[in-house]
Amino acid sequence: MWWVQQAIVWLALGAVLTAALNFFLMTRAPPPAAHSSHQQSPSFSAVEHRSFHKPVYIKGEVYALRNSEYHIWNQKNRTGITNTIQSLYAHLPAVKLQYRTPSPHLSSLIHALRQDVTTRGRTSHPWDLAKKWANPRSLIPSSALGLGDVLQALAKAPIISTDVGYKGTQLKISLVLKGGQRAVFKPRRYSREELLEGEVYAGADRHNGEVAAFHLGRVLGLLTVPLTVGRRVSPRKHLLPVASRELAATFFKRRVCYYCHKNSSVCDSGGTLEGAVTLWLPAHLPLMHLPHPWARTYTRTKLAPWEEQPGYCEGLRQHAPYSGDQSPRLLDLMDAAVFDFLIQNGDRHHYSVVAGKPEAAIILLDNGKR
Ligand SMILES: Nc1ncnc2c1ncn2[C@@H]1O[C@H](COP(=O)(O)OP(=O)(O)OP(=O)(O)O)[C@@H](O)[C@H]1O
Ligand SMILES: [Mn+2]
């Protein structure tokens, strides 16, 4: 239909123009008179002043901080973040000294973690075991005999029904596995090796990142990453025959499989589709979602409060759940930050905890932007 084509052309033109304008605004050199005509605000600290010309992080290091120069051109104060980074670097030599050599316990730890994953035949009721393990501070015990059976069941149990995924922005399929266990299937969007450039939240979810995150969580002793395995399914044989009407409709919309890349033949050829299957949390752990106090802003032209305000953390500690001794939330957020740094996830805009439990740990859901 011609008007649809017209609309698409105009939309595309609009998007290109907006992108070009944005790019121009972000990359244009600061106006030559800017520094001389504007007197620098007295609130600028020495650190921020120095960082006008020299970034405080060491060049070449991996860092998760966006290298925004917007604040410089617009005379914005990034004291909060520059001070924080400086104090981090002050600790660095001591930390490097303390952890010069790998811990002697490392190899036995890895061995034990691996054994839990590979040992099978410990239970014939894997779903019940996983449910019994889960509490507001951890989803599995640190020594998890039977984990191999739960992971095996996630990877192999027959799929008895499928439905469109729950809320969220990414494509996913809700599964019920034999035995009544709910799980979620996040289909592959990129090859496992694909490297995505750009902002840390660039691109769509990487399915294998969800699997790796689960195992990394165990290595770090962060036991709130939901159990996840890789699984190949045939959409035609395994998903469609047991699909809800709503899911089935999305599959054959315009003869292009909704869950595959346009040019991919996985669905049409009756081939297999790789993805990650994640165990759904049990009903006794209802989740609530809170804004992450150190969330990034998703526009390059806006700074987050923690970037600007030097006393941001102290301010936060005046309020529950970040105050006092009642909740380990602030420390849990620090742990989650280490985890997110290691997987290079810059997309934890909100965090999830079990509702109504001040002691609840952060449930490390949604690790695909790794
Ligand atoms: N394994 C799970 N168990 C329980 N609830 C879950 C599970 N996975 C996801 N959810 C719920 O669904 C929501 C969306 O999931 P997820 O964050 O993985 O999707 P997403 O499309 O990446 O979302 P967003 O675009 O908001 O980041 C979660 O915030 C959580 O409430
Ligand atoms: Mn997400």
| Model pLDDT for residues 64-95, shown as the tens digit of each residue | 455 556 666 666 777 787 787 788 888 888 98
CA 108 to chain centroid: 29
Q: How confident is the model at residue 157 (pLDDT cuts 50, 70, 90)?
A: very high
Select the highest-mean-pLDDT range: 240-254, 263-277, 339-353.
339-353
CB 186 within 8 A of CB 278: yes
CA–CA distance from 112 to each of 117, 118, 153, 320 (Å)?
A: 9, 10, 21, 38
Answer yes or no: is the C-beta of 16 below 6 A from any ligand 1 atom. Answer: no
Can you tell me which atom of ligand 1 is nearest the CA of 205?
22
Can you tell me which atom of ligand 1 is nearest the CA of 287?
31
CA 301–ligand 1 middle distance (angstroms): 28
Give the residue, out of 150, 366, 367, 369, with the most ligand 1 atoms within 8 A of its beta carbon, to mutate for a pocket test.
366
Answer yes or no: is the C-beta of 286 below 6 A from any ligand 1 atom. Answer: no
CA 330–ligand 1 middle distance (angstroms): 22
The per-residue pLDDT for 293 is: 95
CB 254 within 8 A of CB 177: no
Distance CA 162, CA 146 (A): 26
The per-residue pLDDT for 75 is: 65
The per-residue pLDDT for 270 is: 61
Answer yes or no: is the C-beta of 177 below 6 A from any ligand 1 atom. Answer: no
Closest CA to 279 of 161, 130, 66: 130
Give the residue, out of 154, 347, 365, 370, with the most ligand 1 atoms within 8 A of its beta carbon, to mutate for a pocket test.
365
Answer yes or no: is the C-beta of 181 below 6 A from any ligand 1 atom. Answer: no
ω into 358 cis (within 30 of 0): no
Burial class (CB in 10 A: 0-12, 13-18, 19+), 14: exposed
ipTM of the modeled complex: 0.95
CA 204–ligand 2 middle distance (angstroms): 8
DSSP string for residues in 291-347: E-TTPPPSSTT---HHHH-TTHHHHHTTSTTSSTTT--HHHHHHHHHHHHHHHT---
CA 349–ligand 1 middle distance (angstroms): 12
Distance CA 227, CA 280 (A): 8
pLDDT at 221 over 80: yes
Answer yes or no: is the C-beta of 346 below 6 A from any ligand 1 atom. Answer: no
Q: Check the CA dihedral 309-313-314-319 and report its sign.
A: positive
The per-residue pLDDT for 166 is: 76
* 366 in a labelled binding site: yes
More confident site: 255 or 300 = 300
The catalytic residues are: 347
Least confident of 107-116, 168-177, 357-366: 168-177
Answer yes or no: is the C-beta of 288 below 6 A from any ligand 1 atom. Answer: no
More confident site: 269 or 101 = 101
**DSSP assigned state of 239:** I
Answer yes or no: is the C-beta of 366 below 6 A from any ligand 1 atom. Answer: yes
Least confident of 83-87, 96-100, 250-254, 298-302: 250-254
Which protein residue's CA is at the shortest distance from atom 18 of ligand 1?
366
Write out the two tokens for 309.
């305000």
Average pLDDT of span 206-233: 96
pTM, two decimals, is 0.80
Ligand closest to Cα of 186 equals 1
Least confident of 19-23, 155-159, 166-170, 227-231: 19-23
Distance CA 9, CA 287 (A): 42
Average pLDDT of span 43-51: 37
Distance CA 191, CA 208 (A): 9
CA–CA distance from 53 to each of 83, 90, 99, 352, 353 (Å)?
A: 16, 20, 32, 39, 41
